[in-house]
Structure 1
Amino acid sequence: MEKSQTLATKLAFLSASFMVTSAYAIQSALPQIKAALNVTQPQVEYLVTTPSFAVMFFVVLSPLLQDWFHISDKHIIMAGITLVGIAGLVPAFVNNYWVILASRLALGAGYGLYNSQAISLISVWYEGHERTSMQGWRSAFEQIGNACTLTISSLLLIYAGWHAAFLVYGLAFAVMAFFAWRVPNDTHSTASDKDDQQSSQETISPMTNQPVTKISPLIIAILLFVLLIKMDFIGMEDRFPGLAVAINGAKFTGTGTYLSLMLIGATLGGASYGTLQKHFGYLGTIYIGLVLLAIANFLFGFGGSNFAVIAAGILLVGFPMQVLTPLIFNILPFMAPMRLQTKITSFILIGFNFGAFFSPTADAWFNRILGQELSGFGLAAPFRIYGVMMLVIAGLIFFGKHLYQLHIAYGQRGHW
């Protein structure tokens, strides 16, 4: 473990997560891409969300490829980052929408190749509190990388046009070189080896005080929840640039600044999660996240032509999103035995990515339900529905908790 303790080496481990959310780096360029390629609003939004479609498949395929070809975690990560760099740069040189869309699929394949390995490699090389700290910083690096790539892409957009915005993916090659140089070589562990290690551990359910021996049916509810919050979050990010242009005019190019500030808020949300859970517990933290997410949606959805209100909504949304996301992964050990944790984590990761991919379609449906156009101020309409949904979920959790407590109380008295 000693050779992994230097600051430079720790930064190299964390650097793998720097590019993993860079699919969203081009969001500020969406209005210009839409006009240049003469495509619809959902089509241009799919350039951001299509990588998530490929991620869903390659999150599953990646460990299989490692087993088949005996590839170590370090080398599969290097291959994934390299693919991100190559596929990400393609749109900088072409004008065909379908070629760009295909390159975005390949970009998602690169993310999927190494997403879970960037998490597991830290668990291999670090232990105890240091492992927890590194995982927290890994999550923060995703947001820092998102903010940095978005800012750089936005500056390239302003000074050199929408093609240049894609040049930001050249950073992947620098990340790959640093990672290859500083991260120690690791030996490949098969899925069965990992299952054997985890099967010796037991997780005690906080509800029953008994070991967790099977997958809880609540995992389906968690999956639906992550689908919803990811559709909400990505939809707001995707539609903010178009809404900002509708309010401020076609020459407005400041959306990247607001999205970068939102990501700083998201980083603060992730950093605050441990403190919030310590003081308010799991349920209290869920309520805080859901209420703040509802407020962000209502500000965005009902802001109308008031750009300050719309901006307040986008600046707020990242904080509760990054409070809820680590909470979800922290409760997964109570949803299944340790030997099945890798499987249900992949299941939830697929849910997050499908939510991102499906976001443009879901938002278009909400527009039709509300009778709003897919342009101008109508872009904000779906988020009124999302806001109501967050409050409904908070209410269901509140009443569900009390019904469960009532059930236990009556059961202990012999009434059930």
Structure 2
Amino acid sequence: MKHGQSLATKLAFLSASFMVTSAYAIQSALPQIKTSLAVSQPQVEYLVTAPSFAVMFFVVLSPLLQDWFNISDKHIIMAGITLVGIAGLVPAFVSNYWVILASRLVLGAGYGLYNSQAISLISVWYQGHERTSMQGWRSAFEQIGNACTLTISSLLLIYAGWHAAFLVYGLAFAVMAFFAWRVPNDAHSNSASDSADDQANETISPITNEKVTKISPLVIAILAFVLLIKMDFIGMEDRFPGLAVAINGSQFNGSGTYLSLMLIGATLGGACYGTLQKHFGYIGAIYIGLVLLAIANFLFGFGGNNFMIIAAGILLVGFPMQVLTPLIFNILPFMAPMKLQTKITSFILIGFNFGAFFSPTADAWFNHLLSQPLSGLGLAAPFRIYGVMMLIIAALIFFGKRGMEIKFDHQGTLAPQTKRAK
């Protein structure tokens, strides 16, 4: 399969992920929206969380829509980004809460329509270390997009009011135009040309060293893992502001700065993933991610009333999270044949979104298990459990690897990656 190797083409592939996390861009405008629309705190928070509900449905519907209408990955991505732009801009021009909430649900539908394709398309067009590096940069682009849209929206809010904050979604049209211009046209996965290419690029399992012809049951284990790390990550983000106020007093308003710095660390994690995987191997990168994530949880969970230790935990957590995320998507090509990549990617994305949605409930359960209050310093309690879980998973992988004949190349990465047809 031929594709452009230029930097502009690679940036075009990555640009599709730039807007994926932009649902959080309007967080700084929530107090003004609440006052202007005279709604409750839960109602205004739904404007941020509602897109996640729609994403869970549309990551399932998206591949089905592709099958029904025979739409290529490139064009479904273009449609999704366009929908994000249109729905995202609606609140800039209306002041009715229910219309805005509906537009946010449509915004989530746009994300769900193309998110899995933006990931799986890289696995289809790129191979080997180049694929690994691209998946790492894709994860980094999500964080870059998050930081950029949050910053732009906040500036628009300061200078032009909460309606203007939603104008940030106009960036989606620029992203769509760049993606359409530079990404090569692709055939639908069910087409004859793709079938021939699937035969030419057979996916070989690194465990059995045989051609992958069906979805591996290990996908269930991966789903459980992504649920856990997403609950951990979102829970720490959500509870940090309350914990910071409990330590520093109600006058403290610097939580946003620390969360922004955490996003920079997350961006570095995604950018460094390819290098870490190259030098330490696939399993080595897993260990690094899990150990760093455990350390971040222990700093956060055992920091007590020492704000600097708590802050160190939140600043660290983004880096391992964005090492583990592209690592997960990089193993998916070995879990199913290429024609099913979009479907299993959608399945894993449901796990990520449900983990984010379920995080408050899971953390409340952990508080109850540890007999800790859901306020004050008790907000940090669940992360002691998360830290222990990460170390247990690392130990299970260590002993499980010793019990399986997993094939590695000289750099310790999974091998072989593909088998060319004769």
Q: TM-score interval w.r.t. the shorter chain?
A: 0.7 to 0.9
The equivalent residue for 1:38 is 40
Unaligned runs of 5+ in 2: 406-422
The equivalent residue for 2:224 is 224
Greater shift, 51-60 or 222-231, is seen at 51-60
Distance in 2, matches of 1:50 and 1:315, equals 27
Q: For residues 87-127 of structure 1, give each alpha carbon's deviation from its aligned partner in whole angstroms, at most 9, with x where no partner exists.
A: 33455567776655443322211111122333455567777
Distance 1:162 1:258, change over 3 A: farther
| Alpha carbons 2:120, 2:342 under 8 Å: kept | no
| Alpha carbons 1:19, 1:145 under 8 Å: kept | yes
How does the TM-score come out when normalised to structure 1?
0.81
Partner SS state of residue 88, structure 1: helix
Q: How many positions carry a matched residue from both structures?
A: 402
User: What is the identity percentage for the equivalent residue pairs of Structure 1 and Structure 2?
Assistant: 85
Partner SS state of residue 202, structure 1: strand
The equivalent residue for 1:319 is 319
Distance 1:246 1:148, change over 3 A: farther
AA of the residue aligned to 1:239: R
| Alpha carbons 2:137, 2:270 under 8 Å: kept | no
Greater shift, 203-212 or 23-32, is seen at 23-32
Deviation at 1:172, TM superposition (A): 2.3
Q: For residues 256-285 of structure 1, give each alpha carbon's deviation from its aligned partner in whole angstroms, at most 9, with x where no partner exists.
A: 332222122122222222332333333322
How does the TM-score come out when normalised to structure 2?
0.80
| Alpha carbons 2:140, 2:322 under 8 Å: kept | no
| Alpha carbons 2:235, 2:363 under 8 Å: kept | yes
Unaligned runs of 5+ in 1: 406-416
Deviation at 1:360, TM superposition (A): 2.5
The equivalent residue for 1:395 is 395
AA of the residue aligned to 1:328: I
Distance 1:338 1:186, change over 3 A: closer
Distance 1:105 1:275, change over 3 A: same
The equivalent residue for 2:190 is 191
Distance in 2, matches of 1:313 and 1:382, equals 13
Distance in 2, matches of 1:393 and 1:307, equals 28
Determine whether 1:382 maps to 2:378: no
Distance 1:77 1:404, change over 3 A: closer
Deviation at 1:129, TM superposition (A): 6.8
| Alpha carbons 1:196, 1:339 under 8 Å: kept | no
Greater shift, 388-397 or 123-132, is seen at 123-132
The equivalent residue for 1:410 is none
Deviation at 1:289, TM superposition (A): 1.1
Deviation at 1:148, TM superposition (A): 1.2
The equivalent residue for 2:413 is none
Greater shift, 285-294 or 70-79, is seen at 70-79
The equivalent residue for 1:411 is none
Distance in 1, matches of 2:160 and 2:236, equals 26
Deviation at 1:293, TM superposition (A): 0.6
Q: Superposition RMSD on alpha carbons, in Å?
A: 3.6
Q: For residues 308-352 of structure 1, give each alpha carbon's deviation from its aligned partner in whole angstroms, at most 9, with x where no partner exists.
A: 222211111111111111222222233334443333222222222
Partner SS state of residue 241, structure 1: helix
| Alpha carbons 1:27, 1:238 under 8 Å: kept | no
Distance 1:225 1:367, change over 3 A: same
The equivalent residue for 1:266 is 266
Determine whether 1:139 maps to 2:139: yes
The equivalent residue for 2:347 is 347
Distance in 2, matches of 1:201 and 1:188, equals 16
The equivalent residue for 1:62 is 62
Aligned residue runs from structure 1 range 216-365, under 5 A: 216-250=216-250, 252-365=252-365
Greater shift, 191-200 or 300-309, is seen at 191-200
